[in-house]
Amino acid sequence: MLRVLLIDDDVELCQMMEEYLGAEDFTLTITHDGEDGAQQALSGEFDLVVLDVMMPRFNGFDTLRLIRASSQIPVIMLTAKGDEIDRIVGLELGADDYLSKPFNPRELVARLRAIQRRVAVRDESQHNQASSNITRVGKIAIYPSERIIEWKGEPLDITTSEYALLEVLARNAGRVVSKADLFTQALGRPESRYDRSVDVHVSNLRQKLGLLEDGRSPIQTVRGVGYQFIAG
């Protein structure tokens, strides 16, 4: 059962989501304050956070910064409809995904289920995978049992979505992976028009990986197709 923390000052929306997610067998905890929400998110009691951007006193971006300072718990941001800037800023700050308000509760459930599948894969890996299953590609090492990726011998501080994307790219090193495949294989949902989630996550990964010795990024853009990981 996925334990979800909802941080949103919209009381009516929270009540609706409490009823809807309860019927879908999620355990939902609600707080209307961003600072309190950040503290709860860091308590270790939750599997995922749903976080609204527009809140008084302590907005969603401030809350996300506090969370990301010491935790990579998955975060889904709720943004204003059509406000692409908020979506991009949220992803750049480390959000795993976003939904635009108003949204269909079924869409939120679909995003939560995608996270739930990733958690299930992680738990299965921890149970079944041995250290001999470590994948090494050039300067990258993937430890599936711990859900850790090392780059040049150092562990990367990455979000759940960034891990999933980098794992798919690294396991296909030298081959071009389409954006559509990255959406389905890494984010657990189909690609949709105007959705830049993959692009922003890749941009974040490039910053964290730095450059190869020849000055290239280890993640190359193949225009009109997708991305290619270079082992180095």
Q: What is the CA radius of gyration of the chain?
A: 18
Instruction: Tell me the C-alpha distance between 206 and 110, whole Å.
Output: 28
Instruction: Tell me the C-alpha distance between 37 and 154, whole Å.
Output: 31
Q: What is the mean pLDDT of residues 31-49?
A: 96
Question: Exposed (0-12), middle (13-18) or buried (19+): which is 129, by Cβ within 10 Å?
Answer: middle
Please write the tens of the pLDDT for every residue from 96-139.
Answer: 999 999 899 999 999 898 877 766 655 555 445 444 578 888 88
User: Where on the phi/psi map is residue 194: left (φ > 0), alpha (ψ -120 to 50), or beta?
Assistant: left
Please tell me the least confidently modeled range out of 81-85, 93-97, 137-141, 188-192.
Answer: 81-85
Identify the pLDDT of residue 130: 46
Instruction: Tell me the C-alpha distance between 13 and 20, whole Å.
Output: 10
Identify the pLDDT of residue 123: 54
Residue 27, CA distances (Å) to 21, 75, 172 in order: 8, 16, 36
Residue 128 near residue 42 (C-beta atoms within 8 A): no
Q: What is the mean pLDDT of the chain?
A: 90
Asked if pLDDT for residue 211 goes beyond 60, the answer is yes
Please write the tens of the pLDDT for every residue from 146-197.
Answer: 788 999 999 999 998 999 999 999 999 999 999 999 999 999 889 988 889 9
Q: What is the mean pLDDT of residues 18-46?
A: 95
SS (H, E, C) the chain: CCEEEEECCCHHHHHHHHHHHHHCCCEEEEECCHHHHHHHHCCCCCCEEEEECCCCCCCHHHHHHHHHCCCCCCEEEEEECCCHHHHHHHHHCCCCEEEEECCCHHHHHHHHHHHHHHHHHHHHHHHHCCHHHCEEECCEEEECCCCEEEECCEECCCCHHHHHHHHHHHHCCCCEEEHHHHHHHHHCCCCCCCCCHHHHHHHHHHHHHCCCCCCCCCEEEECCCEEEECCC
Instruction: Tell me the C-alpha distance between 59 and 117, whole Å.
Output: 29
- pTM to 2 decimals? 0.82
Instruction: Tell me the percentage of the chain whose pLDDT exceeds 70.
Output: 93
Whether omega for the bond prior to residue 218 falls within 30 degrees of 0, making it cis, is no
Identify the pLDDT of residue 118: 67
Please tell me the least confidently modeled range out of 1-5, 8-12, 82-86, 208-212.
Answer: 82-86
Q: What is the mean pLDDT of residues 91-97?
A: 94
